[in-house]
Structure 1
Amino acid sequence: MNNAVTANAKVMIIYGTRPEAIKLAPVIKAFEQDPTLTPIVVVTAQHREMLDQVNGVFEVIPDVDLNLMAHGQTLNDIAGTVISQIDEILDMYRPAAAVVQGDTTTVMAAAIASFNREIPVVHLEAGLRSGNIQSPFPEEANRKIVSQIASIHLAPTEVSRTNLLTDGVPDDRIHVIGNTVIDALNWAVSRPPRDGHPLSNRLETDTRRVLLVTTHRRENLGAHMVSIGRAMRQLALKFPDLLIVWPAHKNPEVRASITPQIEDVGNIISTEPLEYGEFSRLLARSDIVLTDSGGIQEEAPSLGKPVLVLRENTERPEAVAAGGVKLIGTNTNRIVDEVSTLLDDDEAYSSMANAMNPYGDGRSAERCLTIIKKFLNI
């Protein structure tokens, strides 16, 4: 591949889900402010409504919206459609490079389509590994596939860099830049809140401690999700002075497992998914976070919030090693015990809340821009 290009090079940024939109928004903004690059923003809309919310918050207007979301689509449906439609867009714009972030099916398929067109792939948040191809599924496989074909690997931490080296990625293609989620979070928390959101209004005057719960992982659907719902109920009854906030994921299986167990409990608030700015302020207001999300494992420690992860493994071990994040699985009794310890033991809480944040300083997008420009000889 010949990566020597002239100024005003087109760089295509491809994403489809809410987490990708959050982590790519600072990169898009950095590109927009640089006169030597032209960002071409392409969304697949693997997540439609939640994706649009994030784009609205960051004032990102896609150049191409493929609108691929369809009810009941399988992973193979998504992959096949993304590859074929992204291929047409790549042929139309002929970018000098394509940027993808993370490990979704959109990321894997867009990377393959770009590689087959001999367009260099830039992989943001490269090198995450759980060590188990089935967990998380299909993300662990997706990120390993992208690592085989990317030209630039933008790793968030030294641990991720080591993972890539172990996989045989050449050292000169790996750059440790931190995580752009911190750039996005700092921006969102610093902005004034919108007037009138009922949850914000309630939390302004409610002095109770807040437990924020988010859960959506495919591998937690079914019995694991039911177990999480039971734990939420038991915690609410055990600590009547605790306010539990659950932004309910759109997946109907998640709601069917959890809602019946909590709907009659007064100190549990169930809300629709929050737009990113509102969720960031909720995260900042919370005292403890209970989650199976990957991104929140990165965001919450930067705000000094202890994170209990509803999984048996994680591709983000840095915060676990630092002490701000703890893997606890989905057993009801274990969840109740771990949350109870943080609520009852000031020393245990302080130890997690004051752990070092390993995910960067909020300048990752700047580093991303510099590295891509150097790669393109701009």
Structure 2
Amino acid sequence: MAQNEKLAELSEAGVAVWLDDLSRDRIRSGNLQSLVDEHSVVGVTTNPTIFAAAISGSESYDDQLHALAVRKVSVEEALRTITASDVRDACDLLAPVAEMSPGDGRVSLEVAPGLAHDTDATAAEAGHLWWLVDRPNLFIKIPATEAGLPAITETIANGISVNVTLIFSPERYRAVMDAYLSGLEKRVAEGGSLAGIASVASFFVSRVDTEIDKRLDKAGADPSLKGKAGIANAQLAYQAYEEVFSSERWRSLEAQGARPQRPLWASTGVKNPEYSDTMYISELIAPGTVNTMPEKTLMAYADHGAPGAPVQKSYDEAAAVMRSVADAGVDLDDVFRVLEEEGVQKFVDSWDELTESVRTQLEDKA
């Protein structure tokens, strides 16, 4: 089938189109396959909020929930089994994509968000989920918290592909890239192969604007600064990516078969209705990147999206925007700290909501 021209053009510019959503209904109905066939989708990301909406709003999970209930499994085991099942099926659907483009065709599954500040538990959970899904085109999502960084290194060293999530600042992004390279180096030092290992680094965009816009309003700053920081911050992240993945340290690993850790633009659905609904796609076009989109944003770009200037031409302007935001009285370090804390907490809240929903359903179907 013919691909949507606008999304195909985006793909040709080096931006892999991924869907930020997954449900059993989406898989079984053929919707996900149609997005692959007609809208250039080559990957899928999930998070606890996505699964909470999927499981609580569908009857497609009833038979599995009944089987789990009569076996009297724990709520935690039920959650792992249900989410792993959907992710495994999505991995199988995207396997042909992965064969053609090994960095794509990937589906992400997140470690329990309550482990975000526990390095050892995060690494152990990553290993368990990798074993449970048992598909080579899986990504295990690990948050870029301080405790998450050594877990990323350990997980990569164990040969497990990782999607690093909840990155908000270029500084933390540099630490994430270092954790990835350190994991590759450790694996090589231990005699392991780098074949099949892949990684993306999920840099969040719209949430940065939401937080900074609020602070600009409070400071009485120039309104023209609003809606600029999220994109500028991501553009500077790509500049950091270019620096790290052109270094001698990287070249040495690349010669041994390593793949670069691609930047992934996350949180690309526009929160402020006054902004263009495709701005976090149009203004973040660069080779070797991924843009994971909610279906609403994906369809908006398919309908009326248009590419902006390449990211590489925007570094000076992006730096100027971030300086202006700081000069207006916005404490950027505090912004990034708050966003990380809120990001973790939102996923914990969704996970708790999901846990309670599954517990209730297990009791009803026992």
TM-score in same-fold range (> 0.5): no
Give the TM-score normalised by the residue count of structure 1.
Answer: 0.30
> Which of 1 and 2 has higher RCO (CA within 8 Å, sep 6+)?
2
More helix by share: 2
